[in-house]
Every structure is written in C-alpha cells, then in structure tokens.
Amino acid sequence: MGVADALSALTEVQREVIDLAYYGQLSQSEIAEQLGIPLGTVKTRTFAALKSLRAELAQRGTLP
C-alpha cells in the first residue's frame, strides 16, 4: 500500500490538482488557468489534499 493507494482516498477535485501538479508538472498558476478556477482555490485544494494524503499514509503505516 503506497501513495497510489492513498490517492484513492482523496476527493476528485483534490486528486485532480495533485495529478496536474505532480504528474503534469504544472505550477499552481497553470493549474488555475487550465481548470478555470481561482489560484486561491488551487492552493486550498492542494493543501487539503496533502493533509489528507499525510493522514492516510500515516494511518496505513507508510510514513516513517
């Protein structure tokens, strides 16, 4: 059970910004432009997604 499994615990909008940032290598500004949403929304979703991922990985015992 790794990061890929933990990603499934995210909401669709959280997963979308993480996919675009890490796999698409887009900046937060580029993500906002591509999705047609405010930069602040991208930042909020990214923060929430990373917080959820951290919690999910900790629960699964994947974090050191």
pLDDT in tens, 11-39: 999 999 999 999 999 999 999 999 999 99
Give this prediction's pTM: 0.85
Residue 53 belongs to what domain range? 3-59
Q: Judge whether residue 45 has pLDDT over 70.
A: yes
Q: Which residues contact 38 (CB under 8 A, 6 or more apart)?
A: 32
Residue 64 domain-assigned?
Answer: no
In the chain, how many domains are there? 1
Q: What is the CATH number of the domain that holds 25?
A: 1.10.10.10
* CA–CA dist 54, 40 (Å, integer): 21
Residue 28 domain-assigned?
Answer: yes
Residue 64's pLDDT band (boundaries 50, 70, 90)? low
Kindly state the tokens that stand for 12. Answer: 């669709």
Q: Judge whether residue 1 has pLDDT over 80.
A: no
